[in-house]
């Protein structure tokens, strides 16, 4: 049986999601249309509302319905400490896993000259202006432990030092509860080189 045009369009649309291939898109489509029409309508309404109503915080660049997000607007957050992350989802991960009470700046990626992603595409001109105001005293680099993430961290660190702002980097290495024999050599080498003294 040939699929209808609308069914094919829904399958194609679902494939824009990360990790969703043709078979997964097909399963989702048939599940929504066969078993959960209400869920399909809620999904469609939520997607449309988010696509129309969610923008970017003018201070930290995270996803927000307002020009200044809740974290940036909060007087309970320490504006002198700024954590630099690659994606808005990184903020959620840090908020759930740590007791960090400072503010954030979202790069929305990492430096990648071959892909045409330079400092302007990451909003580093805005970060430079923010560092120049003098409120920020320390930045915490929380970019991903990839070659591109490391290069981005180095670039941002140089900007911070030029502005007289202290720089620290989150630790990378052997995961808690991990066995050394299962850790890849690059991670193990990085962890070994970055060892700290016990107190």
Residue pLDDT tens, the chain, 199 long: 567 999 999 999 999 999 999 999 999 999 999 999 999 999 999 999 999 999 999 999 999 999 999 999 999 999 999 999 999 999 999 999 889 999 999 999 999 988 999 999 999 999 999 999 989 999 999 998 888 999 999 999 999 999 999 999 988 777 777 776 777 777 777 777 776 665 5
pLDDT at 162: 94
pLDDT at 126: 93
pLDDT at 185: 78
Phi, psi of 143 (to 5 degrees): -75, 165
Residue ranges and CATH numbers for the domains of the chain are 79-169 (3.40.1360.10)
pLDDT at 190: 73
pTM of model > 0.85: no
């Amino acid at each position: 049986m040939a699929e209808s045009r609308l069914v094919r369009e829904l399958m194609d649309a679902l494939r824009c999601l990360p990790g969703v291939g043709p078979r997964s898109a097909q399963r989702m489509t048939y599940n929504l249309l066969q078993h959960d029409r209400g869920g399909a309508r809620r999904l469609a309404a939520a997607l449309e509302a988010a696509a129309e109503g969610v923008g970017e915080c003018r201070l930290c660049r995270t996803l927000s319905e307002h020009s200044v997000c809740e974290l940036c607007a909060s007087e309970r957050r320490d504006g002198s400490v700024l954590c630099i992350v690659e994606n808005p989802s990184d903020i959620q991960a840090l908020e759930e896993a740590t007791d960090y009470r400072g503010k954030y700046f979202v790069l929305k990626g990492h430096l990648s000259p071959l892909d045409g992603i330079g400092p302007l595409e990451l909003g580093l001109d805005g970060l430079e202006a923010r560092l120049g105001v003098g409120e920020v005293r320390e930045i915490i680099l929380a970019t991903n432990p990839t070659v591109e993430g490391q290069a981005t961290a180095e670039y941002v660190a140089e900007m911070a030092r030029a502005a007289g702002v202290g720089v620290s980097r989150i630790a990378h290495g052997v995961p808690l509860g991990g066995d050394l024999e299962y850790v890849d050599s690059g991670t193990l080498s990085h962890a070994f080189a970055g060892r700290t003294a016990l107190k």
